[in-house]
Amino acid sequence: MNTAQDRNRIIVFDTTLRDGEQSPGCSMNLDEKLRIAEVLEEMGVDVIEAGFPIASNGDFEAVREVARAVKTSQVAGLARTSRKDIDRAWEALKGAKRPRIHTFISTSALHMRVKLRMEPEAVHEMIVDSVRHARDLCEDVEWSPEDGSRTDHDFLCRCVESAIKSGARTINIPDTVGYAVPHEFAALIAMLFNRVPNIDKAVLSVHCHNDLGLAVANSLAAIGAGARQVECTINGIGERAGNAAMEEIVMALRTRRDVLGAYTGIKTESITNASRLLSSITGFNVQPNKAIVGANAFAHESGIHQDGMLKDATTYEIMTPESVGLTRSTLVMGKHSGRHAFRSKLKDLGYEPGENELEDAFSRFKSLADKKKQIFDEDIVALVGEEARTGNERIRLVSLAVTCGTVGPQTAELELEIDGVRKSTKAAGDGPVDATFKAIHELVQHGATLKLYQVDAVTEGSDAQAGVTVRLEEMGKTVNGQSSDTDTVVSSCRAYLHALNKLLVKRERTAPAAFGG
Ligand code: KIV
Ligand code: ZN
């Protein structure tokens, strides 16, 4: 029998690697997904949705590898209702300690008519068949009615009841298009509790999108109405405007437990680290004023606020920076800092590399410290990101020299190592970055188009590192490349090569398949 306390424990289902990864430009390679999964597990996520195995060979492989690597969290894989989808999901998941098949089909009149072109009766039959089939393979099955928040209530109740009868242990109600508002969404959840006779046999979950900026508010309203699982992503990444942000839900529950009454098992001190890792992998920086993880979330600028803070932090601070893992370490780093100080700085920032990684990161740190007077925490975070990006790339930068200035043409002399063979060229362009990208194109034939070129200063100061993101698209596949260096053109070149290397991996791994919601 559950204690009152257990009944208030919210299951955190993270879909950063599935719904989050589906957002344009957020795709991750296998290695990156494994790193994210490791962090999610460490932070106490209950269920990690690792991908959509039928979508591509790359997705399949990622789910299989995450399933093998993760030991404490459950690992879920998404599947539509066809047996082929479900079998493929199970194939990827079966090596997991605690696997879960998550199957879904649209139930709103609009989706059934336009998208599925199926009658409600046929959809209902598919639900029964798919959940039964999934249950024959896997003990733990979750079912979702896509576009649930816009589904006719009678039909929704009937489908939910049948899914539970067929063996679903979790019923997840998605607000697929982010259309719901909090009181309405809470009423929908309450309606299901009131009208579905076997609802007590399943955990009720919610999955909210952020099209109206209400994903977190809707998730919390649903918890208030009795939902006990929330689906969310780190930094709120996801389709269109994204999914409910995990850090916001978790911190709202922690900070306002007095009124919300529920809690999660998330180690909130890991939030900052997870957020930074995801940003550095995807190149999606969070806006400075983003709740919980934005650069300004704990900054106090105005005189009145600063005065209050100095007298008593609780005047303007409802949660401590430490509670989300933001430690303003006092250790000042520079070119005289040794390995020991560097290791302890990394620890302060939430990184604990192995010996080899530490050695590589330390030598990068030393060369950065030679170029830059002051090394800020942000520099170290960028440096660790850079470290994680380099390894077994097929295309490497050997050297780059550019000419720039008021008298053109600007040129780039570039040498690359491609699959172990050195090649060089010289190209002219409209500025040194354009010349560099043209030189890359001459050496590496590809049909990708540049979708985004973004440069941010990692810190203050004219010797700041330039954090560059390059987004490339080739045949509907989008990848992001990042780099940081005190030389903006070198950083741009590396970011472009990072993206190209990812495209090469995608080309090898991807087989076409349709994506779900
Ligand atoms: O938004 C959605 O409806 C989904 C489902 C597949 C759960 O992502
Ligand atoms: Zn979704």
Domain chopping of the chain, boundaries: 10-282, 303-389, 395-507
Q: How far is Cα 404 from Cα 332, in angstroms, rounded to an integer?
A: 35
147 within 8 A of 111, measured Cβ to Cβ: yes
At 474, give phi and psi (nearest 5°): -140, 120
Read off the pLDDT of residues 94-115 as tens digits, 9 standing for 90 and up. Answer: 999 999 999 999 999 999 999 9
Distance 212 CA to ligand 2 centre (A): 14
Return the HEC string of 87-135: HHHHHHHCCCCCEEEEEEEECCHHHHHHHHCCCHHHHHHHHHHHHHHHH
Q: C-alpha angle 361/362/363, rounded to 5°?
A: 95
Pocket test for ligand 1, best of 80, 104, 130 (most atoms within 8 A of CB): 104
Q: How far is Cα 162 from Cα 306, in angstroms, rounded to an integer?
A: 57
Ligand 1, atom nearest to 19 Cα = 8
In this prediction, residue 355 has a pLDDT band, given cuts at 50, 70 and 90, of confident
Ligand 1, atom nearest to 147 Cα = 3
CB neighbours of 262 closer than 8 A, spacing ≥ 6? 8, 9, 10, 223, 253
Q: Which ligand is nearest to the CA of 516?
A: 1
Q: Which ligand is nearest to the CA of 147?
A: 1
Tokens of 409: 């043409």
Q: How far is Cα 401 from Cα 410, in angstroms, rounded to an integer?
A: 11
Q: How far is Cα 192 from Cα 160, in angstroms, rounded to an integer?
A: 8
Distance 147 CA to ligand 2 centre (A): 9
Q: Which ligand is nearest to the CA of 179?
A: 1
In this prediction, residue 310 has a pLDDT band, given cuts at 50, 70 and 90, of confident
Q: Which ligand is nearest to the CA of 104?
A: 1
Position 515 scores a pLDDT of 31
Pocket test for ligand 1, best of 14, 15, 78 (most atoms within 8 A of CB): 78
Ligand 1, atom nearest to 15 Cα = 8
Q: How far is Cα 191 from Cα 157, in angstroms, rounded to an integer?
A: 9
Task: Indicate the class that CATH gives domain 395-507.
Answer: alpha beta
Read off the pLDDT of residues 38-78 as tens digits, 9 standing for 90 and up. Answer: 999 999 999 999 999 999 998 999 999 999 999 999 999 99
Distance 391 CA to ligand 2 centre (A): 33
Residue 508 has pLDDT above 70, yes or no: no
Amino acid at 104: F
Closest C-alpha residue for ligand 1 atom 8: 517
Ligand 1, atom nearest to 172 Cα = 7
Strand partners, 263: 9
CB neighbours of 200 closer than 8 A, spacing ≥ 6? none
CA proximity to 468, closest of 448, 439, 488, 438:
488
Cβ < 6 Å from ligand 1: which residues?
A: 19, 104, 144, 146, 174, 176, 207, 209, 516-517
Residue 117, Ramachandran bin (φ over 0: left; ψ between -120 and 50: alpha; else beta): left
Distance 114 CA to ligand 2 centre (A): 19
Summary mean pLDDT of the chain: 91
Position 255 scores a pLDDT of 98
Read off the pLDDT of residues 187-200 as tens digits, 9 standing for 90 and up. Answer: 999 999 999 999 99
CB neighbours of 5 closer than 8 A, spacing ≥ 6? none
pTM: 0.84
In this prediction, residue 510 has a pLDDT band, given cuts at 50, 70 and 90, of low
Q: Name the more confident of 303 and 23.
A: 23
Ligand 1, atom nearest to 148 Cα = 3
At 301, give phi and psi (nearest 5°): -100, -45
Residue 390, Ramachandran bin (φ over 0: left; ψ between -120 and 50: alpha; else beta): beta
Amino acid at 488: T
Alpha-helical (H) ranges within 318-354 are: 339-348
Q: Name the more confident of 365 and 515.
A: 365
| CATH superfamily membership of 10-282 | Aldolase class I (3.20.20.70)
Q: How far is Cα 171 from Cα 202, in angstroms, rounded to an integer?
A: 6
Distance 104 CA to ligand 1 centre (A): 8
Position 134 scores a pLDDT of 98
Q: How far is Cα 471 from Cα 375, in angstroms, rounded to an integer?
A: 28
Residue 475 has pLDDT above 60, yes or no: yes
Distance 42 CA to ligand 1 centre (A): 25
**Cα 287 from chain centre:** 15
Percent of the chain predicted with pLDDT > 90: 66
Distance 146 CA to ligand 1 centre (A): 6
Distance 208 CA to ligand 1 centre (A): 9
In this prediction, residue 516 has a pLDDT band, given cuts at 50, 70 and 90, of very low
CA proximity to 516, closest of 189, 267, 238:
238
